[in-house]
Amino acid sequence: MMLTAQSTKTARPKHKELVLTPWSVQGSLDMPTIDRAEGSWLYDTEGKRYLDLSAGLVAVNLGHGHPTVIRAIAAQASRLCYAAPAFFNDLRAEVAQELAILAPWPEGARTFFTTGGGEANEDALKMARMISGRHKVLTAYRSFHGSAPGAGTLSGENRRWFNEPGIPGVIHFFAPFPYRSPFNTADPAEETRRALEHLELVLTYEDPQRVAAILLEPVVGSNGVIVYPDGYLKGVRELCDRHGIFLIFDEVMTGFGRTGAPFACRRFGVTPDFITFAKGCTSAYVPLGGVIVRERLAKYFDDHVLGCGHTYSGHPLAIAAAHGAMQAYREGGLYERALEIETWMRDLLGGLSQRSPLVGDVRGLGAFFAVELVRDRATREPLTAWQGTSPGPLPAMLKTLRERGVYAFGRYSVILITPPLVITRDELAFGVDALAASLEELAHTL
């Protein structure tokens, strides 16, 4: 539907009056009214354009309006919009087959489809519990795994607090964070060693025989794009093997080319037992997520009930979008394109830290980077206390960034630079220039 001049004018107040926006105090909301999008750009109803520097919520990996995905959705819409999940279906099988190929297990894999990432994490935990007969699950404090009561409890960070007391059996631990070490060391190798020692101690106190799974983002996403130091993920895998604990990788953000590989586990060469995914699997065009289960575990459900189910499990429109998206990733060489983007990121964001003293740390890999802002580079005093009661000056700074034609999202002191994988170097440079100008403006207000 084309918006008329009148509906364009009324859309903003009407939205503000009637729509509840996630994770926000509603009264102060002030966002553009987005009308359409193409490639790496969003357009509002006034015709102003914004570079989508965070790919939505690290999800629109193919950029907006990719014709292969749109054609796949349109073709499916006229063929079959819905069939109950129990029915067999050609595209469901095709997508599951492709996921088994992208996954790291030579033995093969099967997929259970969900509507999004949080649901996928809850279902992965349920499967780990059913197969192991154990109950507990360990997740990192600096993690986000979803927001409904189950997944919200799995999340370690403060969005979990809204769920408390939450579901039982979830235990949190500290994982490495080289820039702000919870283990009091500046040496990454020592960070890895101490973090593994800490995890082992937590396991001892919880009784490893009662632990079904450890759930981890292979690269921490919305909690600051933390790349774990060498050896950590491998060490966690070894701990899991020693105690018969399943390792679940939450690849909701890291999947589908974000780190320069179909899944981050393949980039790091560490193999989990379950992979959860969402976001990039359809480039976020239609909601879809799922759990990929290695064949040796999936077999368990050949003679046991799989106690998971959703009305929209394997929804045909979402599956068609995933089918089209995977074709687009393959044909465009996009699973690996982030390796090229990574070189631009290092160059341009390295330049940004020279241009602005507010940049304390630039970290990431692939097309998955964050800039952490500080008030003092030497002391690393953060721009805003992490998980403090105030969001600090970041929201106002992101607003000035939008005025300069760039959308990005962030929390407290961290801005995520996670563009669509189709971004050009010139577009990225435009985004980083706008960021530099907004940081300069912010510096004057501090």
Residue ranges binding ligand PLP (CB under 6 A): 57, 116-118, 121, 144-146, 217, 221-222, 250, 252-253, 278, 289
Separation of alpha carbons 33 and 382, rounded Å: 32
Give the shortest CB-154-to-ligand PLP separation in angstroms.
9
Nearer to ligand PLP, 117 or 178 (CB): 117
Separation of alpha carbons 127 and 236, rounded Å: 20
Biggest alpha carbon–alpha carbon distance for the chain: 66
Nearer to ligand PLP, 178 or 280 (CB): 280
Nearer to ligand PLP, 145 or 237 (CB): 145
- Chain residue at closest Cβ approach to ligand PLP: 117
Nearer to ligand PLP, 114 or 356 (CB): 114
Residue with tokens 């981890």: 216
| Half-sphere exposure at residue 186, Cβ-oriented, CA atoms within 13 angstroms | 1
Give the shortest CB-11-to-ligand PLP separation in angstroms.
25
Give the shortest CB-279-to-ligand PLP separation in angstroms.
7
Give the shortest CB-118-to-ligand PLP separation in angstroms.
3
Give the shortest CB-144-to-ligand PLP separation in angstroms.
5
Nearer to ligand PLP, 45 or 158 (CB): 158
DSSP string, 392-406: TTHHHHHHHHHHTTE
In total, the chain counts a number of residues equal to 446
Nearer to ligand PLP, 127 or 359 (CB): 127
Give the shortest CB-376-to-ligand PLP separation in angstroms.
30
DSSP string, 231-256: THHHHHHHHHHHHT-EEEEE-TTTTT
DSSP string, 121-167: HHHHHHHHHHHH---EEEEESS----SSHHHHHH--SGGGGGGTT--
Separation of alpha carbons 312 and 301, rounded Å: 20
